Amino acid sequence: MTQPLVRVTRRLHFNAAHRLYRPEWSDSRNAEVFGPCANPNWHGHNYEIDVTVEGPVHPETGYVMDLGHLKDLVNSSVIDDVDHRNLNLEVPWLEGLNPTTENFVVAIWKRIEPGMPEGVRLSRIVLWETPRNYVEYEGPPSPRTPSPRSPSPSAPEAEGS
C-alpha cells in the first residue's frame, strides 16, 4: 500500500549580526541601497527558521522524519555555526556572500539538504528576519512537478507575548 506524502515542519531560533554592503561600493552608495542595514557597526536579528520536509509516512513509526533528528541536523549544519555570530566575519560558508535574507536562506538550504535521509525531501525553508519580514525558499528548480504552494506561515510570536 502506498503511504501518503506528508510535510512536517520544525521551527528553530538563533541570533546573528550582519551588515549588508558591497565592498566595491562607496559607503554612501551602500547606505543608499541598503539603508540602515549597511551600518558599518553591524546590526542583529533574532531569526526564526522553519524547515519543512516531505515524504511518505513510515508504516511502523508513523513519522515522515523524527523531528528530533531534523532539529539535530539543522543545529549541526547551520545553527551551531551562526548563532551569536557575525555572518560577515565568522561563518566560513558565507564568506564572500552579501548576507541578505535571500542569499542566507539559499546558503542554509545547501547546508541542510545533503543530510536528508533516504526517501525524505527538503521541501521548504522559511527564514524570519523579524516578525514581519521573512523569505521562503523551496530549493533549486527540479525536473519534478512542483508541489502546490503551501499557505504562508504564521509569524513567530514576539518575545514576551
The catalytic residues are 37, 84, 129
* Contact in structure between 80 and 29 (CB atoms under 8 Å): no
Contacting residues for 32 by C-beta, under 8 A, at least 6 apart? none
Find where cell 527564514 sits.
127
**Cα 157 to the center of its chain, rounded Å:** 18
